Amino acid sequence: MNSDWFSTPLTSADKQVASLIEKERARQFQTLPMIASENYASRAVLEAQGSILTNKYAEGPLGKREYSGCGVVDRIELLAKERAKKLFGAEYANVEPYSGTQANQIVYFAALKPRDKILGMHQEDYGHLTHGNPESFSGAFYSSLPYRLSPKTEQIDFDAIARLARRRKPRMIIAGYSCYPRKVDFAKFREIADSVGAYLLCDIAHLCGLIAAGQHENPVPFADFATTTTHKMLRGPRGGLILSKAKFENAIERAVCPGVQGGALMHAVAAKAVAFREAASAQFKSHVRRVLHNAAVLAEELQRLGFKLFAGGTDTHMVVFKLKGSGVDFAAAQNLLEKAGITVNGMPLPFEPKGPGAVRIGSPALTTRGMGPREMRQVAGMIARVLNSAGKPAVLRRVKREVGELAGLFCLQ
């Protein structure tokens, strides 16, 4: 049998795919990624995820697999679980979820029955689609009771949440959001959950890096369940993680498999283990402090340049600034900034569905590349020039050139 195909590198085996990957690599380092949920994984994480572990099937609970030959991958998964538990101070961890969405799905499957009531942030107020959106499984299979932000402060209104919880008696309350730049008081959510006998799920997909570095209140002591992604601020592979009290271990294990998923992605589990080790380091803690400082500088500079900030500012790694008065709406803003080499999220504003909306930016990826306050002010100025130019080609060309020059100084290569 001719086995040349087996050892042929991608650049020879599939030039089309290899070329597209190279184009994406170039895009990531020749532009400025400011999407708050994006980051750069380390070489070690990428090597683990791209390893020979891809070949191994490991279906079923750790130590009780449906397939033989799992001795080594069981040790890898155990290592990932122990590192996750230590990092977040959790009694139990499950490292198998394929994504943050499936982590939430698994928790619902473990703790709830169909049509049970769940109380989560309305997606229009920057809650996540898995917190009760009617087009998601969370809204289709469970009875969604969305709560809203305060129209006055654009921040969490605990009194309103408590009133709604007392009136509707949800089985589960969800704390955590996809686009909320302020810190979250998990202890207050625990009080509300206890007052109505509800489970508390804390979705920390955006906050997990801050929590791991000790820069945000840890929900684990308060929550029945905590879920997160492992990319974003943790800089791991794309995947999910569940943390919970030990008493929920059996229910979660059954919900993972056969409930929601099949075999674990052992290459991703290994990469998660690497990321958890990196996140436990003093270097990571220092990095997160720089992330927060850079976000604060971005917010300050954007305000100085005339933009108003959603929720009055930021306590985290993300900044949401409003577009009112800029002459462009959120879709145009996202498109114009991408043309200039800056990738962001444009979105509508809560309570203003017909208004120009807002733009969400984050500091994690640029901080990973080594940028600091000086560069944050420079980038904020670029953003303002693009949006205030109404898309003038000359301005876009000039900013794109400046973006390329700045990106070239911080390329991680």
Instruction: Give the catalytic positions in this structure.
Output: 57, 59, 203, 229, 232, 238
145-152: long-range contacts at Cβ-Cβ below 8 A with a sequence spacing of 24 or more?
Answer: 145/117, 145/118, 145/119, 145/120, 145/170, 146/119, 146/120, 146/121, 146/122, 147/119, 147/120, 147/121, 147/122, 148/121, 148/122, 148/350, 149/121, 149/125, 149/311, 149/350, 151/350, 151/351
> Cβ–Cβ contacts within 10 Å for residue 84, how many?
25
**Comparing C-alpha atoms, which of 334, 354, 365 is closest to residue 124?**
354
- The residues pairing with 118 across neighbouring beta strands, listed in sequence order, are 144, 172
Q: What is the DSSP secondary-structure string of 267-324?
A: HHHHHHHHHHHHHTSHHHHHHHHHHHHHHHHHHHHHHHTTPPBGGGS-SSSEEEEE-T
- Please give the Cα distance from 207 to 402 (Å, whole number): 31
For residue 358, the SS3 value is: strand
Neighbours of 365 (CB within 10 A): 24
C-alpha 137/C-alpha 99 separation (Å) is 14
**Three-state DSSP class for 235?**
coil
Q: Which CA distances in Å does 346 have to 11, 324, 362?
A: 36, 13, 12
Determine contact, residues 101/37, Cβ cutoff 8 Å.
no
- DSSP summary character for residue 348: P
Exposure class string for 86-98: b at 16+ Cβ within 10 A, else e: ebbebebbbbbbb
Cβ-based neighbour number of residue 155 at 10 Å: 15
Task: Say how many Å lie between the first and final Cα of the chain, rounded.
Answer: 40
